[in-house]
Amino acid sequence: MIDGRRPTRRGDLPPAESRRPRDSAGAVLRAVLDHGPIARSSVARVTRLSAASVSGVVGSLMERGLVREVPEAAGPPGIGRPHVPLDLAADGPAVIGVHIAVPRITVSLMDLRGRIVAQIQEPHGSTDPVSVIGAVAARVAAIRRRPGARGRILGLGVATGGWVDSPNGTIVEHPALGWRDVPVAAALGEATGLPVRADSNSRALLRGELLFGRVAGRARESAVHLFAGNVVDVAFATGGIVHQGPRSASGAVAHLPVEGCREACSCGRVGCLQAAVSERVLIRRAMADGLIDRPEIPALVAAAAAGSTGAVELLLERARLVGRAAALLLDLFDPEVLIVAEAGANQLPESLATLRAEIAAWSSAGAVVERVVCPSSFPGAVLGVSGGAVALDQIYASPLDLQARLKAS
Ligand SMILES: [Zn+2]
């Protein structure tokens, strides 16, 4: 991705895609996301589409307000300047992301570049699905009333832990919330009138990494994403495609046995990875030891950053446990990148170092761990990003189907 807003020139571009894209409008929109401001001729080169196809697709994208022409920036003398560069519309269409966690809901307004424009985060009083979905719908309505959101919302994405059947839009099972077969997409679609798509936490965040993450280029080759919050789950992608599985059940690593853990797990056994590293367990221990005064993971990370030895030790212990699971994943998949979304490793250098050291000790990856294992691109913001990434992923996959989807809903 090119920093700043200067137009992309030929020499800035990576080699063209090796395959012809499946959805040409999606490929053009992604090229503008990756390289904008960018001339039509450069879009054609990156996507391997003909100049005529690019021109036609750009016209349709401009009609829908997804892309627009920007004033040509003055380049250094002697260097060819691109003709009427294209970029994403900064105040153009947006999506709403919803994250449902054990203690709280997060509703965010996100632009096409994956930037959070506004966010509401609130604890839910009851974990009853009907009341939580009602509360989510009310927050979505509140965010849509904000001046910048009016008439811009293309879709709603929902992300949550546990087992989410994305094609059917249901939360099949979320043990920590006590949910089973909750038709979240249908319920929110009815309440909001928006097209809704749901997915698991880790798959949602991996979609965000593939679109606009710090290592998106490498992640599009192959990537594994490990999320460790209250819930632990995994997602993997090859060639930019996130694996869903025929029952959307891929990525369940919650019950991987962990040596020496005596915590009871929601599955009824003792010593599962999710029980060992869950935020609730960590927060309970930190509160009991007087390390934090409010029961939140950011408080523990802040205490560790401020030098609390007890807080650092708790987070390093978690990094070691997560590292063992990550080592297994690295050997199993041998991905180009392994992205770990864990609060400590994402925000404290010593946690990331411990995580990488543990992975190196338990996997056959050795020296490549340093390059392959990356922290999340969204430190401190994973809950705000995940739901929006689910909606954006669908828009970038086939942007010209949007109108049909909006009508159908
Ligand atoms: Zn278990």
Q: What is the CATH number of domain 215-376?
A: 3.30.420.40
70 near 60, Cβ under 8 Å? no
- Ligand 1 center to 353 CA (angstroms): 27
pLDDT at 236 over 80: yes
pLDDT at 1 over 50: no
31 near 38, Cβ under 8 Å? yes
pLDDT of 259 reads 79
- Ligand 1 center to 151 CA (angstroms): 44
Return d(Cα 94, Cα 37) in angstroms, integer.
19
3-state secondary structure of 172: strand
pLDDT at 55 over 90: yes
- Ligand 1 center to 241 CA (angstroms): 29
Domain boundaries, the chain: 10-88, 94-205+383-408, 215-376
End-to-end CA distance of the chain: 34
Q: What is the mean pLDDT of residues 313-327?
A: 95
114 near 65, Cβ under 8 Å? no
- Ligand 1 center to 44 CA (angstroms): 50
- Ligand 1 center to 16 CA (angstroms): 45
- Ligand 1 center to 252 CA (angstroms): 11
pLDDT at 43 over 70: yes
**Which range (63-72, 123-132, 251-260, 330-339) has the least confidence?**
251-260
- Ligand 1 center to 303 CA (angstroms): 29
- Ligand 1 center to 202 CA (angstroms): 18
- Torsion of Cα atoms, 80 then 83 then 84 then 87, to 10°: -70
Given this structure, which CATH class describes domain 10-88? mainly alpha
- Ligand 1 center to 310 CA (angstroms): 27
pLDDT of 263 reads 85
- Ligand 1 center to 333 CA (angstroms): 23
- Give the list of residues 6+ apart from residue 353 with CB closer than 8 angstroms, or none: none
- Ligand 1 center to 277 CA (angstroms): 12
93 near 66, Cβ under 8 Å? yes
Ramachandran region of residue 303, left (φ > 0), alpha (ψ -120 to 50) or beta? Answer: alpha
The pLDDT tens digits for 91-105 are: 888 999 999 988 899
Taking every pair of Cα atoms in the chain, the longest distance, rounded to a whole number of angstroms, is 70
- Ligand 1 center to 296 CA (angstroms): 23
φ and ψ of 208, to 5 deg: -65, -45
pLDDT of 305 reads 96
Q: Which of 371, 11, 69, 364 is nearest to 215 (CA)?
A: 371
- Ligand 1 center to 160 CA (angstroms): 18
pLDDT of 218 reads 97
pLDDT at 74 over 80: no
pLDDT at 288 over 50: yes
Given this structure, which CATH class describes domain 94-205+383-408? alpha beta
Return d(Cα 267, Cα 114) in angstroms, integer.
35
- Ligand 1 center to 104 CA (angstroms): 22
pLDDT at 62 over 70: yes
Q: What is the mean pLDDT of residues 141-169?
A: 90
**Which range (54-63, 113-122, 268-277, 329-338) has the least confidence?**
268-277
- Ligand 1 center to 157 CA (angstroms): 28
Q: Which two tokens stand for residue 30?
A: 């992604």
pLDDT at 2 over 50: no
Task: Work out the pLDDT band at 409, boundaries 50, 70, 90.
Answer: very low
Tell me, yes or no, if the two domains 94-205+383-408 and 215-376 fold the same way.
yes
- Give the list of residues 6+ apart from residue 61 with CB closer than 8 angstroms, or none: 25, 28, 29, 67, 399, 400
- Ligand 1 center to 174 CA (angstroms): 13
The H or E element containing residue 385 is helix 382-397
Q: CA-CA distances (angstroms) from residue 189 to 49, 121, 349? A: 35, 20, 41
Return d(Cα 53, Cα 37) in angstroms, integer.
19
- Ligand 1 center to 330 CA (angstroms): 22
pLDDT of 73 reads 62
Residues whose CB is under 5 A from ligand 1 (ion)?
255, 265, 267, 269, 272
The pLDDT tens digits for 164-218 are: 999 999 999 988 889 999 999 999 999 999 999 999 999 999 999 999 999 999 9
83 near 41, Cβ under 8 Å? yes
131 near 407, Cβ under 8 Å? no
3-state secondary structure of 171: strand
CA angle 101-102-106, nearest 5°? 30
pLDDT at 79 over 70: no
Return d(Cα 169, Cα 186) in angstroms, integer.
7
- Ligand 1 center to 265 CA (angstroms): 4
Q: Which two tokens stand for residue 19?
A: 């395959």
Q: What is the mean pLDDT of residues 44-56?
A: 94
Q: What is the mean pLDDT of the chain?
A: 89
pLDDT of 147 reads 79
The pLDDT tens digits for 255-285 are: 888 877 788 888 889 888 888 898 988 999 9
What sign results for the dihedral spanned by CA atoms 156, 160, 166, 172? negative
**Which range (112-126, 246-260, 283-297) has the least confidence?**
246-260
Q: What is the mean pLDDT of residues 42-68?
A: 94
182 near 149, Cβ under 8 Å? no
- Ligand 1 center to 389 CA (angstroms): 28
pLDDT of 102 reads 82
**Residue predicted with more confidence, 180 or 9:** 180
pLDDT of 40 reads 94
